[in-house]
Amino acid sequence: MSQMQLPAMKLADPAGFGRVAVLLGGESSEREVSLKSGAAVLAALQSRGVDAFAVDGVKALLQAIGKEKVDRVFNILHGGDGENGVVQGLLAALDIPCTGTGVLGAALTLDKIRTKQVWIAEGLPTPRYLRIAPGGDVRAAAKTLGLPVFLKPSSEGSSVGVARVMSEADLEHACQVAAEYGGEMLMEQMVEGEEFSVPVLGDIALPSIHIVPEGQWYDYKAKYQSNTTRYITPGLQGEEEAALGQLVLQAFASAGCTGYGRVDVMRDEQRGWQLIEINTAPGMTATSLVPKAARAIGVEFDELCWRILEQTLCAH
């Protein structure tokens, strides 16, 4: 177990949170994962005596706010309006505190291309990329960057709609993926090396997680369906772990993020650390990464949910 210590919790009485809406589900491509995360969070909060209830989607949240008292929101709505600034702006306008980052951090980081532009402006390491407009030329982009590359939607999560292009033979499939998605795509140089994820809680980088999938890459199946993916926590030791934590905190803050989230990184064999993306409403299921990192420092799931909810006490 890591020796990292979190600050003392701020609140002892669950009544101090008031009535808490756990926002889950919604209409994005990540709905099923969000339902699982939300159910886990709801059970954890209720086990600690919090007056919490589930709300499925933004429209239902508005109805709940109109009909009954909602003092704060635990946002576990993955993708779409849960992470693009819509929920954050709505609740800010209504003066209702919400877990996670604010409007800027949410809107920016759901867009992988704009996040990379900020990182590059800040001098932070991230793979070379090209933006492919809807209907754009995937083959020309691949030729410019050079294979191998990843092709992914600019504003999706959970490895939804990702194509791995190792050779010319893979380009036809990549073109099909782009056509089916129909939106803006990101093509970036493939990072050859180890994959890590580092959760952030406030201004603290939790222990890194070294992700070792059974297959060649960490896709949707490896994330949510596989029992063979290995997670090593902490993923590094000593000065290496500390340096990665500092890089992650800089990447998180530079993208306007606050509260909690998760930064995905890879260690390229030639170029060193490469920032991949930020998730501002990360998964909170039994196999999710943020709970794994918290558990490595002795923080069980119910305490983690409590600590995240505590962040809303100073949100206004």
pLDDT value of position 65: 96
pLDDT value of position 140: 95
The tokens describing 41, both together, are: 């969070």
Known catalytic membership, residue 180: no
Is the pLDDT confidence value at 111 over 70? yes
Task: Check 30, 81, 83, 241 and give the catalytic one.
Answer: 30
Residues 222/215, Cβ–Cβ less than 8 Å? yes
Per 3-state DSSP, the chain is made up of helix, strand and coil in percentages (nearest 5) of: 40, 20, 40
Task: Check 37, 75, 197, 279 and give the catalytic one.
Answer: 279
Task: Check 28, 85, 264, 307 and give the catalytic one.
Answer: 264
Q: What is the pLDDT of the chain when averaged over all its residues? A: 92
Show Cβ contacts of residue 242 under 8 Å, excluding neighbours closer than 6 positions: none
pLDDT value of position 221: 52
Task: Check 71, 224, 240, 303 and give the catalytic one.
Answer: 224
Residue-wise burial string across 222-255, b where 16 or more C-beta atoms lie within 10 A, e elsewhere: bbbeeeebebbbbbbeeeebeebbebbbbbbebb
The tokens describing 284, both together, are: 């909170």
pLDDT value of position 2: 58
Is the pLDDT confidence value at 310 over 70? yes
Domains of the chain by start residue, with CATH = 14-100+298-314 (3.40.50.20), 109-126+192-295 (3.30.470.20), 129-189 (3.30.1490.20)
Task: Check 57, 102, 259, 283 and give the catalytic one.
Answer: 283
pLDDT value of position 182: 82
Known catalytic membership, residue 84: no
pLDDT (tens digit, 9 = 90+) per residue, 179-236? 888 889 999 999 989 999 999 999 999 999 999 987 665 555 545 455 678 999 999 9
Known catalytic membership, residue 82: no
Task: Check 262, 267, 288, 307 and give the catalytic one.
Answer: 262
Mean pLDDT of 159-173: 86
Mean pLDDT of 260-279: 95
Known catalytic membership, residue 264: yes
The tokens describing 204, both together, are: 């603290």
SS3 annotation, 118-185: HHHHCCCCCCCEEEECCCCCHHHHHHHHCCCEEEEECCCCCCCCCEEECCHHHHHHHHHHHHHHCCCE
Known catalytic membership, residue 66: no
Q: Which residues pair with 266 in a beta bridge?
A: 195, 274
Known catalytic membership, residue 279: yes
pLDDT value of position 165: 94
Task: Check 260, 277, 288, 307 and give the catalytic one.
Answer: 277
Known catalytic membership, residue 277: yes
Known catalytic membership, residue 268: no
pLDDT (tens digit, 9 = 90+) per residue, 26-72? 998 889 999 999 999 999 999 999 999 999 999 999 999 999 889 99
Is the pLDDT confidence value at 162 over 90? no
pLDDT value of position 28: 86
